[in-house]
Amino acid sequence: MDSDELNFWKLWIKGPYPWLGSWKTCYAAWSFPKTPEVSSRRVEVTEFHATPEDWEKSWRSKVVGKTCIDVGCGCDGTVPFWRSAGRRILLDPLAKEYQKLILSESAERSHEGFSWFDECELVPKKATEVDLKGDVIVFRNALDHDAHPLSLFRAVLDMGNSGARLYFWSELTHHEHRNDGHHEVPMTKEELKREMYDAGWGIIREFKAVSGPGYKMGKEAGFVADRL
């Protein structure tokens, strides 16, 4: 199996991508446990929460012992590092291919069999193809990687149990010379918010995601929300 996504992660895992991390940063995150637990890029603190204290409170009440779903997790993701979760579900059409990449790289680095996907449930499908329910839904930087973003977004919103927490951000508009595999999201930030409200989600924090080179400024969307 080959794709733009898979080819990207084949390059990523060798690193270094200073703005993304690499196999090395994931290994470090796994090898040196933190409380609260965070991913290799500390995205929960830097993007989804204003302070480390805010994240720790959220982690203890929302993550520990709960079912956590990482939608479009890619090769590193967020949920794989939450070892206090009750279930860690990685929902990505290429999940098993990413697992193979991780194991191959760990063998090359003399860490035979090591993977931060260990103990996670791999579901190699799209959100629109499954009937999953979770207490925490992480949907980070994946909406613009699908050719049908509206149906994908609605499927993800439907995954939350009552009282579930959603961590979401996405780039919406790409440069005309964007990389293959990225898609324009034909919804504004306000339209995304309306979709969330209509699906029964209440936004508790809103933030502007960081733009990288080649992206238009000002149209990124990021939310922390709870399902009512």
CB 85 within 8 A of CB 121: no
Q: What angle do CA 218, 219, 222 make, to 5 degrees?
A: 105
Q: For tokens 């991780």, what's the residue?
A: 102
The sign of the torsion formed by the CA atoms of 85, 39, 92, 163 equals positive
Residue 177: how many other CB atoms lie within 10 Å: 6
State the pTM of this model: 0.90
Q: What is the pLDDT of residues 185-209, one digit of tens each?
A: 778 888 999 999 999 999 999 886 5
Q: What's the chain's average pLDDT?
A: 86
- Whether residue 108 is predicted with pLDDT greater than 90 in this model: the reply is yes
Query: In CATH terms, is domain 4-227 a member of 3.40.50.150?
Result: yes
The domain limits of the chain are 4-227
Give the pLDDT band of residue 184 (cuts 50, 70, 90).
Answer: confident
Say if residue 218's pLDDT is above 50. no
Q: Which positions ≥6 away from 120 have C-beta within 8 Å?
A: 79, 80, 88, 89, 90
The pLDDT tens digits for 11-44 are 889 887 655 668 888 888 888 777 778 877 777 7
**What are the structure tokens assigned to 183, written together?**
């898609």
Condensed to tens digits (0 to 9), the pLDDT of residues 131-157 reads 999 999 999 888 887 778 899 999 999
